[in-house]
Structure 1
Amino acid sequence: MSGELEVIEAPDEVLGEDFVRDVFYIAINCGKMLLESGAETYRIEDTMLRIASNYGIGNAQVFVTPTVIIFSLNDYALTQTLRIEERSNNLEKVMVVNELSRRISDGLPLKQAIRGMEKIHNTRFFPLWLLVLSGGVIGIMFLLLFEGVARDIPAAFIGGAGGVFLMEGIQRYTRVQFFTEFFAALYIATVTVIFVGLGYGIMLDTIIIASVMPLVPGVLITNAIREMIRGHLMAGIMKGAEAGLTAIAIGAGVGLVFMLV
């Protein structure tokens, strides 16, 4: 993920200033990485509170929404509101941060925990070429799942891979997620229509459905439901709305191509 680690300032008169500030530093940045990677808000709150508790700091409070983290160590007059600008689905990073949290619960020294957290932050888990390749493979797998024919495999691969590449590329220039998914879906539908029109594809609808699957917000929908069940109504509603906008963007991109052909 992009973005710099948050450097926390604490009042000089606080007892054990360096230790408390280090705990605050690792807790809020672990929360930031989890939220940027698509973790559930209750998981983020629990992780941050556990980090503080395991280093002997009680009376900590944390409030998380899909775009904001508010974290306080009340006994030490430390509070910070952190706005999250970029979010994606990186379950590998969520898993690694969770593993670090478990090691902290088992007694990992604070300085080692900080080094581990900074290493996670600086690690790029999925390079662009792997994301694009995975998009193409997902398109093929869903084509076969939907009982597509072997002749449509190249179209599904190019559609899925190209859609992911276009989405990742547009995200470098705009944070408006609606446009990234709209143009990715527009590309997929256009490529599929061309393939079928030239005789290199057969099942138009199946190819399109399979190719757009990498864009479908499955993790977001699942998290929205889990948030609602856990009582995090604000986060659940916000994530549900975001998933709905994504679905509208995909449908609009595909629908526009059908209207023009």
Structure 2
Amino acid sequence: MILKEQDNEFTLDCLLLAGRIMIESGAETYRVEDTMLRMARSQNMPDAQCYATPTGIIFSLGKTQPTRITSISKRITDLQKISLVNSVSRRLTSHIITLEEAYDELKSIQKTNYFLPNHVQILAAALASGCFLILFKGIWSDLPITLVAGGLGFAMLLLMNHLTRVKFFSEFTASLTIGLVAYLAIGFGYGTQIDKIIISSVMPLVPGILITNAVRDLMAGHLMSGLSKGAEGFLTAFAIGAGIAVILSF
């Protein structure tokens, strides 16, 4: 009996770890619940129940089995980790690996940082801003300014996020930097279309995946998760707009 309880506790640890990694990496709520339930069924626990939100998970292995609650305090967008957890889940449900092996892989995934170095992220943001300028039918002479504005804005985002850990303030400061660079460039005659420069430069900051996940959760019937993610996306959009508005108002 004691051994069985220990096995159940270990199963809970493994499944909650998988769910935590997915939510912290920006996965949709319905995907998190489906993954955890599939993993539970692979361990002969068909009565498992799961309730996930962006801020926590409640999971039970069955009516007479233990129930565990875990809170989620941070969320980023890391599609690599989501993909790796899905891979572990598929191999576990196909009985290619054991639960112990799955737990070890999940611990490794949780500890590993799959993000590219900061300078590569900044370079990618600058190039993306330039591409958006062409996509929005901007003029080629504004391309250098857009590259600089997009890169500096994203660099400020990373810096302020490291210093303050406040997402709203980081995004506000980043958009403020972009607006200031664009305004000064136009003022000194280095740019022409300030609207295209600003719009293109803020695109790397736009929470596209967050808004998409919010809509997908709403369509899947997870109203609380969809609304909360939508509200988070709205706050990000408001921070970006407020930073640009501050510059343009002066």
TM-score, normalization: structure 2?
Answer: 0.93
Name 2:102's counterpart in structure 1: 113
- Count of matched residue pairs: 248
Aligned to 2:160: 170
Shift of 1:21: 2.5
Matched residue SS, 1:69: strand
Aligned mate of 2:72, from 84, 90, 111: 84
CA RMSD after TM alignment: 1.6
What is the 5 A alignment of 1:139-154?
139-154=129-144
Match of 1:231 among 215, 221, 226: 221
What do residues 44-87 of structure 1 show as CA deviations (whole Å, max 9, x unaligned)?
Answer: 01111111111222321111111111122235642222111111
- TM-superposed CA distance for 1:172, in Å, is 2.3
Which of 168, 177, 182 in structure 1 is aligned with 2:172?
Answer: 182
> Conserved in 2, the CA contact under 8 Å of 1:14 and 1:76?
no
Question: Is residue 51–residue 58 contact of structure 2 (8 Å, CA) maintained in 1?
Answer: yes
Say which of 1, 4, 14 aligns to 1:26.
14
1:46 paired to 2:37: no
SS at match of 2:74: coil
1:220 aligns with 2:219: no
Instruction: Give the Cα separation in 2 of the matches to 1:243 and 1:112.
Output: 36
Query: C-alpha displacement at 1:16, in angstroms?
Result: 1.9
Equivalent-residue separation in structure 2 for 1:153 and 1:187 (angstroms)? 17
The 1-side partners of 2:118 and 2:225 are apart by 29
Q: Distance in 2 between matches of 1:63 and 1:154?
A: 48
The answer to whether the 8 Å contact 2:59/2:69 transfers is: yes
Offset at 1:168? 2.0
For 1:71 and 1:174, locate their aligned partners in 2 and report how far apart those are by CA, in whole Å.
Answer: 32
Within 2, Cα distance between the matches of 1:160 and 1:220? 20
Q: Percent of aligned pairs with the same residue?
A: 42
The whole-number CA distance in structure 2 between the counterparts of 1:159 and 1:90 is: 24
Deviation of 1:149 (Å)? 2.1
Alignment of 1:91-110 (within 5 A): 91-107=79-95, 108-110=97-99
3-state SS of paired residue (2:51): strand
**2:213 touches 2:226 (CA, 8 Å); kept in 1?**
yes
AA in 2 matched with 1:172: H
1:123 counterpart (95, 102, 112): 112
1:256 counterpart = 2:250: no
Is residue 73 of structure 1 aligned with residue 91 of structure 2? no
- Please list every run of 5 or more consecutive structure 1 residues that lacks an aligned counterpart in the other structure: 1-12
Unaligned runs of 5+ in 2: none
**Counterpart AA for 1:109:** T
Matched letter for residue 82 of structure 1: T
* Aligned-residue offset at 1:188: 0.5
What secondary structure, in the 3-state scheme, does the structure 2 residue paired with 1:125 have?
coil
